[in-house]
Structures are given as structure tokens and as C-alpha cells.
Amino acid sequence: MADLKRFLVPWIDQVTPYGTEDILLAWSRPELKRMMVNENPIPPSEKVIRAISEAARMGNRYPDNGPRLRAKIAKLYDLSPDNVYLSHGSSEIIDMVMRLFVTPGDEVLLPNPTFSLYGIRARAVGGKVVAIDMTPDLQYDVPAMLRAVTPRTKVIIVCNPNNPTGDFIPDEDLQRLIDLGIPTLIDEAYLEYHPEHESKAPLIRKYNHVIVAHTFSKAFGMAGIRFGYALADETMIQYFRKMQIPWNTTLLSMAAAEAALEEEEELKKKAAYNNAGVEYVVKELSKISGLKPYYSHGNYVLIDATDAGVTGKEIVDYVFEKAGVILKSFAPLRGRNGFFRISLGTHEENSICVSAIKRFFENRKKEA
């Protein structure tokens, strides 16, 4: 047997794969309620399904790079099609940014907590993750981020709104980061849930180091179809094209995305359905003493149970065992170990989840 260690890149052992065990569990047990990975509970529309079916008839042909679709996306932001890069979800964009700018030992600056894939892909290319804890009220600690910048800082990540905390970075704070002139990825994966907050896409006209990422996995409800796009200066897009794997988006995913873009009312309905769920979860869980849910502009709600005297994992385990609902717990932050997250489901699933959490605390009160 070959000694693979002799050939592997030396930093590979510091890389932890993105965890998909809960997804495997959910597929193997369809009766479970999938409220752990920020999926949209509403499936694609019939129009999207028809578009996929029609595209499949040409499945023997390689796809192009979607000039018509890029033009439609560009029009949404008053940009050129040359400012648009089509991707295999926004995950590919995250990976592309790391491979373009980060070499072994370089630093990637990001908030904590945030989407774990940023750090995973940074480490996959030998980068060092510099994670700056958010403030006690879970806002970007921009002064601390600015202090953490070094000559080796090659990428700054801004998830806007942030996952899992659910809030936006103030414009003036974002500007302070952009003014550093360091490649900055602004991930707007959840923006479509609150279109009253404008995209930061116009920034790319002035700053050639800014990249804005979008995905169809969230509000559009196409996580399994895999489609996203990046908006950036034309020169940046050309660097993306040099790095990309050919045919990274399929005929089927591009057809689905084009159909979805034509359904403005469908998108509004999905966003309204989700936002009603957020309001319900926050309102009901706020009634539990010691429990603090954070209002979210995404399709998830982060809750801190520290002041209730329990860990997030205790609640997650109970809800799974008693109600068949899969949630996600989080590592301690600033000494607080009660964090867990609910990904919004159907209204019925949200009710089942909230009821199970209430029972958890009612049982604790009886046992006390």
C-alpha cells in the first residue's frame, strides 16, 4: 500500500468535511421533520418542474454559459451580463474565492458564528481562518475585525444577513471593511426573504475587489437543483472563468433558474410564508422564561437558552427524540452554551417544534 501522507498536501488534516450526517438521516427517515439546514419547505413550482423536464430532452448536449440567463440576472441589478458568473449554488463561489486568493498561511477574516463552509474551504487550500466573535448582542464586531487585519489577510467574508444570527451589517460598517481594499465576499444567500433591503451589487461598479453571491437554494426553494450566481467587476469574473470547472451549471439547473425568475409572485409568496413562520417562532419562544430567540431576516431563528440553565444540545436532543424534529445546536459563544437554531419548516412543523420546546421546559419545571 502506498504511503499517501507522502503525497497529500500537508494541511489536509486540518480540514473537516462539511457535515451532512443530518441530511443523510433525514433522507433515510422521511417521517422526520427537516428543520436543520435552512431548506425551503415549499417545493418548486410546476413551471420550474416543466422547464427542467423540457431541458432534460436536450440532456445529450453540453450546456453553454447561459448568456440569456446572465442577461436576465444582470438586468435585475442594472449590470452587464459580463458582471455575472453562473455557479453550482453559492457554495462554488465560496470555494472559487478561496482558490483564487488564498495560499497556504494566508488569512481569511470572518465573523463568528457564521456559515461553516467559509472556514472549511479556506482550510482546504491551506488558509488560516481568523474568526472574530460577534458582539454580545450578535452584531458584527467591525472594530475587532479591523484590528485583526494583517498583511496576510487575503479575503474578508460578510454574510448579509448573517447565518445563523439573522441580521444585516450596517452600511457604514460594511464600507469600513470594503475601504481596506481586500477581496471581500458579500454573501446575500437570504436577501430574497427581505427585498426591502437592497442588494450590495451596486458596489461592484466602484470596487473591483467586491464579490456579491446569490443562491436559489433558499427563498427560491431549489436547494437540490443547485444554482447560484456571483456579481463582480468584469475582470474579476474573468478570473472566475479561468478557475472554473467547465459546465459547472447544467441545462436543467439553468432552465429551472430562468423559470423561477419569471415567477415574481411565487417568490413573494414563499418569502411571506417564511417570514410569518419567523414571527410565530420568535413570538412563541419569547414567552419562555430565560429563552432568547433572535429575530431573523433569513429562513432560520437562532435561540439562546443559556439563561434558562440548559444547553442548546439538550433541547435539540429532546425535540428530536420526542417530536422527530431535527434541529441544530451550536458551539458556545462568549461563554454561553445555550445556542441552537430552528430552520423554518411548514406552519405545521413550526407548531410541532415550538410545542416540543415548550414541553421540554414544562417537564423541567415539574422536575424542579
pLDDT tens track for 219-253 = 999 999 999 999 999 999 999 999 999 999 999 99
Return d(Cα 21, Cα 36) in angstroms, integer: 11
> Could you give the 3-state DSSP secondary structure of residue 65?
coil
Helix runs in 77-131, H state only: 89-101, 116-124
Cell 475582470 sits on residue: 235
Percent of the chain scored above 70 by pLDDT? 100
| DSSP code, position 212 | E
pTM of this prediction? 0.97
pLDDT at 137: 95
Task: Find the mean pLDDT for residues 178-182.
Answer: 98
* The one-letter amino acid at 59: G
Per CATH, the number for 46-262 is: 3.40.640.10
Query: What's the mean per-residue pLDDT of the chain?
Result: 97
The residues near 346 (Cβ < 8 Å, ≥ 6 apart) are 41
Tally of CB atoms within 10 A around 224: 9
Summarised one tens digit per residue, pLDDT across range 68-120 is 999 999 999 999 999 999 999 999 999 999 999 999 999 999 999 999 999 99
Tally of CB atoms within 10 A around 241: 12
Class of domain 4-42+265-367 as given by CATH? alpha beta
Whether 367 shows a pLDDT value over 90: the answer reads no
Are 277 and 300 in contact, with CB atoms under 8 Å apart? no
In the chain, domain spans:
4-42+265-367, 46-262
**DSSP letters along 173-210, please?**
HHHHHHTT-S-EEEE-TTGGG-TTSPPSGGGGGT-TTE
Summarised one tens digit per residue, pLDDT across range 314-344 is 999 999 999 999 999 999 998 999 999 999 9
* Local confidence band at 366 (pLDDT 50, 70, 90 cut-offs): confident
Helix runs in the chain, H state only: 21-28, 46-56, 67-76, 89-101, 116-124, 142-148, 171-178, 234-243, 251-261, 264-285, 312-323, 347-367
pLDDT at 368: 67
Whether 150 shows a pLDDT value over 90: the answer reads yes
Cell digits for 351?
407548531
